[in-house]
Structure 1
Amino acid sequence: MATIHFHGAAQQVTGSCHLLESSAIGTVLLDCGIEQGGSENEFYDKQFAFNPQSIDAVILSHAHLDHSGMLTKLVRQGFHGHIYCTHATKALLAVLLKDAVSIYLHDLERENIRRARAGDSPLPAVIDKPDVDKVLSLCQSYDYLERISIGKAGVLTFRDAGHILGSAIVELALTERGERKVLVFSGDLGNPDTVLMKPPVPLYHADLLLMEGTYGDRDHRDYGKTCDQFAAILERAKQQGGTVLIPSFAVGRTQELLFHLGCLYHEGKLNGWQVFLDSPMAIAVTEIYDRWASLLDKQAMHHLAKYRYESLEAFLPNLHLTPDAEQSMALNRIQGGAIIIAGSGMCTGGRIRQHFKHRLWRTDTTVIFVGFQARNSLGRLLVDGVKRIKLFGEQIAVKANIETLGGFSAHAGQTQLIEWQQHFKNNPRTVLVHGEAKALEALAEKLWQDHQVKVHIPQLGEQMSF
């Protein structure tokens, strides 16, 4: 009998981490992500509820930090097993983890200067750059649909989740005492309406289904209407003569935004705008997307061909890349007509916070949120209407126009989640993870009312056998 322990993303959206124990494969983690919502340094303060040296392997659904970000701390504390992932996920990990560690070390250095001035002892680093190299050396990457032997009697298969490049649904077959059981872990399921990614692959059999429910309580705004809303917001901002700030996740969301901005350019709707991609990580990730274009949706590629797409620079000629800190700081001198895309997506770190410091108090600034904002994150506070925030030790008034676009989400909405779950023919035991309690409860109620599917919503630290 296998046992699963829920050590993260249980009635919360971030921090995906589930520990699976089985005689077929040993002790394996499904994801090992950071719990977002605080500062970059606070991500790594969380202690593991298990001994990292006891973990035999990690199966990684995708590269987003709330699924992968604690891998550096895991290896720092003694993990040395295989990390199973797709090829594209490994390529993205090299960028995301290096960036996350660099931000952490920079913030730690600044904190230790502050502590030295106060006469306090410095804080030691809990992770460092060599830990990223160790993570990458442990990664074993595979194609979708490849059958991978794991442990003594396990077979792992990755299937396209349609969320970001390389994102995977994990299908894990375990044979214990002659009995075969199948666990399916959805990871993050993509929104079929998004442009660049393929729809999530349907599966038809599982004994235990771990399914995400980030948007379990609602559907997304119509995609076409969202595109129209985006264009209308930009037009209003243009009339104000101000600047648009878009906090964006470097992986997936940024590339979708650049696609839409390119389309708006070719439709003549970006006249007078200059677009700045102010994120070294997003720039590097966009290059990886170009290299792995074969995994993207064929319809999107056909759409790009209509505009004679040859390169991002040709597709969006008014795009400027600002990888250097000096180039980023120079953006503060721009008075208007700028669309600045910067990380991080939930405003918990990265350059977007510097732009907020210089522009959030201005009435001619427009901030557009295009992704989920976790509870307690700065992005969530702004979406919820906070009037004042504290940044870099200063009080900043929030006078900017705050806008939210729901249709660009990279997550499946409620209807799409239910449709994907209904592909399973044998009515598997279904467990909802990766969602706030309200969203998971709404999804559970809808599944029961409409399809008589009874689900379980685990608490953090809970364990169950199957």
Structure 2
Amino acid sequence: MKITFLGAAKTVTGSCYFIETSSCKMLVDCGMFQGSSKEETLNEEDFPFNPSELNYVLLTHAHIDHSGRIPKLYVDGFKGEIIATKATKELCEIMLPDSGYIQESEAEWKNRKRQRAGKPPVKPLYTYKDAVDCLKLFRSVKYDEMRNLTEDIRVRFRDAGHILGSSIIELWIREKGSEIKVVFSGDLGNKNIPILRDPTIIEDADYLVIESTYGNKVHGKSKDRVEDFVNIINETIDRGGNVVIPSFAVGRTQEVIYDLNKKREKYDARYDKFFNAPVYVDSPLATSATEVFRRNLDCYDEEAREYIENGDNPLDFPGLRFTKTPEESKALNEKKESMVIISASGMCDAGRIKHHLKHNLWRSESTILFVGYQAEGTLGRRLLDGAKTVKIFGEEISVNARIEMLEGLSGHADKEGLMSWLQGFKKKPEKVFIVHGEENVMADFSEAVKENLGVETVIPERGQSFVIGARGAMDEAEKLIPDVSFKRLAVIDILETLKEEFDFLSDEIINDLKQDKEDEEVDKLRARLKKLESEILDVLKQMG
């Protein structure tokens, strides 16, 4: 068989692995790239294969960076089966149409600008209807159930403990008289994560494809996480501010609600302020996803089941409120009382969260509390990296609010969790392919795997293929993705860097000009800037 790494290769988003055997072609995941303009541009590229020839998509979980390009795959001709757990299927039924709506809205916004510039309109990546139509291809499978795809290919989905319905995929492929087993970790959850079971231990594999999001970091301890969470909220309420939690609508939001409910059970005087402040979930998608959580109790761990058996709803508590309409969302920013606002998107690049950031970032009494991974190039990452000002809806906003990150609430296993899961293999993989991580993190994690497990590791490039079989893995020299794609992305990367540099230098020069300067110095600066402006305009005209 041959496996080609088309996404989450030396980056965190866009998970997609193309598998070819003598009798079958399939994908494991078909995710959307998120983050910088360079990353997001990848979503527009044609698939480097014929989608109509694909037989299956095996989907590890519903997060958009793993499922978000499935509607495009459908539009481009895919008519095979999408196999996922029941909970993943139900979450995709709300997440993919929501993504389609976002694609249409973004295209509409771009086209208004293009129309004013006399340029032809662009099409959305896919529409709401495309996303709804692709749902008919989904087929549900139960955890731990062996399923035959062909006479020579078997698959089994195991619990990954990352979000509701998330899976580790075990794939057995028989070719030329011998069988090999390839395991895809998907996104692995933390141990003792709220609601969900711990990731299933896999005992054997010939080859392993493993995520590495937090492959060189260790999360805080669970007890510290809970205490820190309450302390941050109480301190913010004392200052008269709001706690704004950018949260992924599926997974983190429900886990935060669950944690808040547990704190109510262990109520003491320290939580007076906390429980007197309303908690708003301001995301229509999160509201729908919470209903899916309530319908899939079979995915819950023992603790969550015990709550239910005792008549408690672990996803509800007094003071929890769900907003439904845009008007209700806007009204939150007009209230004088302190509150906790949980809102999507988790990386702050779309949705209602941007409005709440606009109204709270400049307030020194408010807190922005991150509970999930922030990809490079996103607004959330810029805030965590210490940005002093950010642009939201074209307006420059000063960052005066307290910025905090509670990695212990992350749905991804840290370095210790990943290594612990790897050590569960009784038969160690012959080769471990490391994906879904930033380059420096992957390099560190790769060294840790080699040192602790004594197995060979590979950090694949995007488009790199490997022929794997009973005799080992061989790198294919020819890449499916043409060099012109990488050259185009390199240009976009340069433009992104220039944009950041211009923003920084602009602030520096403006501050400098506020000081006393000789007219001659100002004239020289103006002449140099005019020359630079002319050169940039020449480049843009040639591009147009």
Query: How does the TM-score come out when normalised to structure 2?
Result: 0.82
The letter for the 1-side match of 2:35 is G
Bigger RCO (CA 8 Å, 6+ sep): 1
- Give distance in 2, aligned partners of 1:361 and 1:5: 46
Matched, 1:450 2:452: yes
Report the counterpart of residue 403 of structure 1 in structure 2.
404
Contact 1:242 1:335 in 2 (8 A): no
CA deviation vs aligned residue, 1:223-259 (integer Å, no higher than 9, x gap): 1101100011011101110111100011111011001
Pairs within 5 Å for 1:160-309:
160-266=159-265, 267-268=267-268, 269=271, 270-303=274-307, 308-309=311-312
Deviation at 1:54, TM superposition (A): 2.9
- Give distance in 1, aligned partners of 2:12 and 2:192: 21
Pairs within 5 Å for 1:26-37:
26-37=24-35
- Give distance in 2, aligned partners of 1:219 and 1:457: 21
The letter for the 2-side match of 1:34 is M
CA deviation vs aligned residue, 1:74-110 (integer Å, no higher than 9, x gap): 1111111111111111000001111111122122222
Pairs within 5 Å for 1:38-437:
38=36, 44-266=43-265, 267-268=267-268, 269=271, 270-303=274-307, 308-310=311-313, 312=315, 315-428=316-429, 429-437=431-439
Secondary structure of the residue aligned to 1:455 is strand
- Give distance in 1, aligned partners of 2:424 and 2:103: 42
Q: Which has the higher helix share?
A: 2
Q: Greater CA deviation, 264-273 or 131-140?
A: 264-273
Deviation at 1:311, TM superposition (A): 7.0
- Give distance in 2, aligned partners of 1:379 and 1:243: 17
- Give distance in 2, aligned partners of 1:44 and 1:461: 14
- Give distance in 2, aligned partners of 1:378 and 1:231: 25
- Give distance in 2, aligned partners of 1:310 and 1:344: 25
Name the CA shift for 1:67/1:406 in 2 (closer, same or farther; >3 Å): same
Query: How does the TM-score come out when normalised to structure 1?
Result: 0.95
Larger Rg: 2
Deviation at 1:305, TM superposition (A): 5.6
How many residues matched?
Answer: 461
- Give distance in 1, aligned partners of 2:145 and 2:370: 37
Contact 2:36 2:376 in 1 (8 A): no
Deviation at 1:399, TM superposition (A): 1.2
- Give distance in 2, aligned partners of 1:13 and 1:311: 31
Contact 1:41 1:108 in 2 (8 A): no
Give the % identical residues. 40
- Give distance in 1, aligned partners of 2:251 and 2:16: 21
Structure 2 gap segments, 5+ residues each: 469-544
The letter for the 2-side match of 1:47 is D
- Give distance in 1, aligned partners of 2:410 and 2:87: 21
Report the counterpart of residue 440 of structure 2 in structure 1.
438
Contact 1:283 1:321 in 2 (8 A): yes
Report the counterpart of residue 464 of structure 2 in structure 1.
462
Deviation at 1:455, TM superposition (A): 1.2
Contact 1:214 1:439 in 2 (8 A): yes
CA deviation vs aligned residue, 1:320-352 (integer Å, no higher than 9, x gap): 111211111111102231111100011121110
Contact 2:195 2:304 in 1 (8 A): yes
Name the CA shift for 1:305/1:234 in 2 (closer, same or farther; >3 Å): farther
The letter for the 1-side match of 2:31 is G
Contact 2:10 2:437 in 1 (8 A): yes
- Give distance in 1, aligned partners of 2:398 and 2:52: 47
Structure 1 gap segments, 5+ residues each: none
Report the counterpart of residue 483 of structure 2 in structure 1.
none
